[in-house]
Amino acid sequence: METSYLHSFLLVVESGSMSEAARRLNITASAVAQQIRTLEREFNVTLLARAGRTVLPTPAGHRLAQRAPLLLRELTETKATVHSEDTAGELLIGTINTAMHSLLPDILARFVQKCPEVKVFLQSGTTRDLYQAVQQGDLDAAICLYPSFPLAKTFDWTLLREEPLVLLAPSRLAGQDPHALLRTQPLIRYDRSLGGGQLADRYLHAAHIAPQERFELSSLVAIAMMVDRGLGVSLVPDTALPLLDSQRVVRIPLPLQSQARRFGAMWLRSSARLPLIHQLVDCARRVVALRGGPRNAPPTG
């Protein structure tokens, strides 16, 4: 049985919609439907039934939905046990690019001091990709944003930083009105397919600002360099990127309240590597305490 199909089935049951499950999985609704049909053939029973605009589990589907999380948890633990001799002392961490270029090096430096024998593997990706990789057992934990959808109950999460929007502008424009700059200066957009870019887009709409768009890209480091070169201004989350301090740019607070980007760590509660994950999270909390940013729990140990 393809375990990813069970994940898809659970998402459909949780959301009540194949379209919503497909959106979260970043695949087509027809692909999700095909996976469900494959499961129904394997179990030789109908698992889902349509009720108006929603999809509900049949009695057999309810029984599978109750059993599937345990099956997936047992499979993850079995994988860890089977490979324990080869992978003992290893930790697979997913990360978004912003973390890779800001807090993660300091977090790993502290983690290596505490756990010098652990071999760490890093994988970068979007928050959605990392969520799926953790859910499927391909990653032990992820340093990323809180997803745009509620976390499944099998996950644990700790908040490291809340990052409100700020205006990045060339140093020569320090002290000027941020809304006036957004209306008169070319805008270097933060990619709207990302959470931070969507927050910026909502702010512009709320402030009734139609900017002069010049570029759109996903790298905050590159955006800061382009602002430094005088190519425009940018509306971005106030990250912990140290590279921003070396550029000739200023962070200008915004007059309107904006939703903050939530940055933290997530992992499966049933992970076979919980002790190492907890060590990593404790290191992350301590680094954030030194670098600045709210925490939802104090460091331990």
Q: Convert the pLDDT of each residue in 122-138 to its tens digit.
A: 999 989 899 999 998 88
Q: Which two tokens stand for residue 125?
A: 């990706």
Strand order in the sheet with 165-170: 234-237, 165-170, 249-252
**Can you say whether the dihedral through the CA atoms of 101, 297, 235, 25 is positive or negative?**
positive
Q: How many helices (H) and strands (E) does the chain have?
A: 12, 12
The stretch 273-293 carries a mean pLDDT of 86
pLDDT tens-place string over residues 6-52: 888 899 998 899 998 888 888 898 999 999 999 999 989 999 998 87
pTM of the full predicted structure?
Answer: 0.62
- Between vectors from CA 268 to CA 241 and to CA 1, what angle results, nearest 5°? 125
Local structure of residue 87 (DSSP, 8 states): H
Q: Answer yes or no: is pLDDT of 232 > 90.
A: yes
Q: Answer yes or no: is pLDDT of 102 > 60.
A: yes
Q: Answer yes or no: is pLDDT of 173 > 60.
A: yes
Q: Which two tokens stand for residue 107?
A: 């977090």
pLDDT category at 245 given cuts 50, 70, 90 is low
pLDDT tens-place string over residues 203-216: 999 999 999 998 99
Q: Which pLDDT score is estimated for 290?
A: 82
φ, ψ for residue 57, nearest 5 deg: -70, 145
**Can you say whether the dihedral through the CA atoms of 214, 217, 220, 223 is positive or negative?**
negative
Residue ranges of domains in the chain, CATH in brackets: 3-69 (1.10.10.10), 84-162+262-291 (3.40.190.10), 165-252 (3.40.190.10)
Q: Which two tokens stand for residue 84?
A: 């324990």
User: Strand 212-217 to strand 54-57: parallel, antiparallel, or no bridges (unpaired)?
Assistant: unpaired
Average pLDDT, the chain: 86
**Residue partners of 139: CB distance under 8 A and separation at least 6:** 92, 93, 94, 123, 130, 133
